[in-house]
Structure 1
């Protein structure tokens, strides 16, 4: 059973969600303050986190940033006003998805299942690759950039780059077919699952975040009204 941590100062939200989540084999723990939530996360054992934007002590954006310093666990943000800027900022800070309040519990479960499934697939791939011995795939090498899918590690000019799970999957998707143009819808279907509500702006945000982390390399090319492609040339053997 996956363990989910909800950090939200609404005392009335936790109990009904806890009961509802159990129907989908999800165990929910509710923390009312960021400090309480961070203490629980430090003990380990959680598979994903749900963060409200409006919180005491620190807002959900700062909390997301704090969690991302040490963890790539899936994060879903709850935006009270449902404003686009809240969603944009959350995604820029490393959240995997967002959901405006008020929300339907079933939609929250669906979004959690999507990000958990993606995380599970990534971990399974890493484990199977590690056990494959000589059959593991070699790193993808480009001019200034190395992507090791087995170790889920990216090096920019010899320096390891800290990427979220979504950022890594996007880069790997582009790198496996360098030069090919991937549309925003193709990227969303690949990274977030068909259940997720298509939100093309989310792709632009993740690409922008990834570009900044890979600077000074100019890795990702934008083709207007078409999509994105990897712009790097493969490294000489």
Structure 2
């Protein structure tokens, strides 16, 4: 049973989400502020994913995501009443894996939670899989992508990636030298198909570049194919 932390300052919404998600098969706990949410994450009983409202008193949801992503690979889903694309992109660039716009339909949130968790469990399954002929280390400049160990190093130093970032980089590495469309990446990495938002791909690529490029503003490893998508260059 997935363990989910809901960080929401509106007690009525938090209670409704806890009840709905519990009914849908989740073990749900709540926190009324970002600070309380960070404290809950330090509990010896860890959660699998956090659902975080953007508009929180004190520390907002964006800062919560920044702090969690800086030290942890915990999957994060934002709840936002803002449909402004800039706000959504800012949230994704802060480390969130996905977002859901309020008012929240519990089954939509449940589907997004399960999709995000699948990405993490798929990575874990690949770590335990037997090596195959196709599996190998791929090197692009100082970046080494080890598909067997599910590990990425840059200049010999391991790079901390979230499960979604790792799956995205692995997908690009498996097709190094070839352009992948945003739609293809949504289907293969996010499992969303036509229902997905291409901003998820763009924001995740920006986060990846910040971690693996010498100059993220002028990328040479993960390049943009204008009007198409992205390509991991060959070494």
Q: Output the TM-score relative to the length of structure 2.
A: 0.90
Aligned to 1:145: 143
- Seen in structure 2, the aligned counterparts of structure 1 residues 108 and 94 have a Cα distance that, compared at 3 Å, is same
- Secondary structure at the aligned position of 1:13 is classed as helix
Deviations 1:26-66 (A, max 9, x none): 11111101222111111142000001111122010110011
Contact 2:172 2:180 in 1 (8 A): yes
Q: Distance in 1 between matches of 2:109 and 2:132?
A: 41
Whole-angstrom distance in 2 between the partners of 1:186 and 1:138: 22
Within a 5 Å distance, the mapping from 1:93-108 to structure 2 comes to 93-108=94-109
2:231 to 202, 207, 229: 229
Matched residue SS, 2:79: strand
Distance 1:194 1:202, change over 3 A: closer
Separation (CA, whole Å) in 2 of partners of 1:81 and 1:208: 21
Q: Do the aligned residues in 2 keep the contact of 1:82 with 1:99 (CA within 8 Å)?
A: no
TM-score, scaled relative to structure 1: 0.89
Residue 93 (structure 2) pairs with residue 92 (structure 1): yes
When the two structures are aligned, how many residues end up with a matched partner?
A: 230
Alpha carbons of structure 1 residues 201 and 195: separation in structure 2 relative to 1, 3 Å: closer
Q: How does 1:1-237 map to 2 (within 5 A)?
A: 1-43=1-43, 44-126=45-127, 128-129=128-129, 132=130, 137-194=135-192, 197-216=195-214, 218-233=220-235
Describe the shift of the 1:46–1:136 C-alpha distance in structure 2 as closer, same or farther (beyond 3 A): farther
Measure the CA separation in 2 of the matches of 1:222 and 1:195. Answer: 21
Query: How large is the Cα RMSD of the aligned pairs?
Result: 2.0
The superposition leaves residues 183-203 of structure 1 with CA deviations (integer Å, 9 ceiling, x where unpaired) of 000001111113683211221
- What is the distance in 2 between the residues matched to 1:196 and 1:166? 18
Task: Report the more deviating stretch, 48-57 or 134-143.
Answer: 134-143
Which ranges in structure 2 are unaligned for 5 or more consecutive residues? none
**Structure 2 CA distance, aligned partners of 1:40 and 1:96?**
20
SS of the counterpart of 1:51? Answer: strand
Q: 1:7 to 1:158 in 2, by over 3 A?
A: same
Q: CA deviation at 1:151?
A: 3.1
Q: Is the 8 A contact 2:183 2:194 kept in 1?
A: no
- Kept in 1, the 8 Å contact 2:82–2:88? The answer is no
Distance (Å, rounded) in 2 between the aligned partners of 1:202 and 1:38: 24
